[in-house]
Structure 1
Amino acid sequence: MNFKALFATLLLALFLSTGTTVFAKTAQATATINIRSSPSTSAKIVGVFPKGFKAQVISTSGEWTKISYDGVVGYVKTDYIMITNDNSKANSKKALSTSDQVFYQTAVVLKDNARLRSDKSTSSKIVKTLSKGSKVYVLSREQNGWIKVKTSDGVIGYMAYYLLKINGASSSKTVSRGGYDREDKINYNGSLADRIIGFAKNFLGIRYRYGGSSPSTGFDCSGFVQYVFRNFGIHLERTAADMAASNGVRISPDELRPGDLVFFDTDGGRNYINHVGIYIGNGMYIHASSARRCVTISDLTSKYGTSFMMAKRVIR
């Protein structure tokens, strides 16, 4: 072993013996923003980093930060993210022992027997059940519709968005030309349908991609609808035709209410369902449009309206 290698080994051993911890950095988007291939607003958009979601920080230089999010590596504007260190367990426990009301938002549980889980999955261990009206502290918003919370008696775990009413959880957005660089008006405090629609509007402007099912790479129509509802614990089939055949209860057009699914045959033959969107009220629906090449809001009386086939209700 040469001198440099020996020195590096000794230095590493000394470092480990001191118990010093190197903290990885995490970025949380404060707005839905573009991920670019290089640190320039003229660089290619390789994905989208949605508001409230988290990513690993690779490096930061001035007004740009390099991140890894949902399998996409690229650059985002530093102004639109919040960077934090992933603290050690000891530091986390110390922070949680201080006044929660000072550091965290509060939320109210909306249903009896609401499940607090050990991880961000409906198959993970249930660590506690909470009654309707219970107060919890919001520690962070995670990917795929989960919220990390702490109960009043100190139990930490994950809950789905639709189980909680988050106090003061609204913000505003202006969509800039060419992509997302600002926030959207979102309110998670209403009914389940309101929260689903608010979550769906996070992705307005995200590009259309055939077969796409992720905000970082793009959506097709059914991928978008499936992704949105999955964030609220509702499983839907992958294609528009399968959703129409298997999910929910069929309703008449005059029974439509926000959160219902609307189905179309865009080929004009009115004999096969190949498109789906989410009804948002007032004759409008949100969908991933191949014609407009992005997630957008359309009128049922528009071109798609002439190919309307049926509606189904999946929110009970």
Structure 2
Amino acid sequence: MNLRSLIAITLGIFLMFFSAKAFAQSAQAKSTINIRSAPSTSSKILGVFPKGFKTQVLSNAGGWVKISYDGIVGYVKSDYITITNEKRSAVSNTSRASVAKTAAKAAQATVLKDNARLRSDMSTSSKILKTLKSGSKVYVLSREQNGWVKVKTLDGTVGYMAYYLLKMPSQFVSKTMSRGGYERGQAETFTNLSLAQRILEFAQRFRGIRYSYGGTSPSTGFDCSGFVQFVFKNFGIHLERTAADMARTNGVRISYSEIKPGDLLFFDTDGGKNYINHVGIYLGGGKFIHASSARGRVTETDLNSYYGRFFMMAKRVIR
């Protein structure tokens, strides 16, 4: 056997072994850093990549890494992130067909946004198993409490996704579920949850719209209460103009443990004055959407972050 044949055989074995594996790079922020529109410190800042958070690497060149985080695609300096290679087993055609056949009996849902996270448990602090693109299909295994859905992907990965990330299948609309202790123990139907989902889907269309004090429309920008009022008005639900007045007048007060997607969350961000000055809409999965003056736009935020310290109350306006 000559050297050329030996090299060819060795290369063939190498390729056979590694064809069963898929590699992907992930980036984790060492500190909170700016996400920029181009690989340059003079380019526009699109948002921030928080310390400790992890996301997929799209490209890596010239000291800049292109990432997708929280719906923002942009560039971060490679000096401030840790890049790791993650190895995933490929799924054979036979295995994929078996999963698809089994899952076909389950209800199918559609992912509503890019970089949607599939997690190992019903918590935003749990491990991210993978991220999914908008339009991807998953199979609903069960509807859980507190805004989470247990799903299975086509490749057989089972995990949990926040309810607001999914367009739920029609067969869920007619079913009922327990309120889990909500006032008087009435049954909550998926018809009302469907309204909540439509409200959340509508609200998320305005992610990135600039913050403007006193603003009440996409053209002028939004302040916090202007955004919430605008969203609910589109569904025929009238809310007061300010966060404080909404808290006093609209809806039924509920406890923190009872919050569900579509509920209003109120905060005192002035710190200890016990005066409500901020409002957002709960999305499920520990996140809410709001017009943030700090970030300068409509955005999604983890309820257990900075805002958790200033939470005052929650109210339900979808009856």
TM-score range, shorter chain: 0.3 to 0.5
With normalisation by structure 1, the TM-score equals 0.42
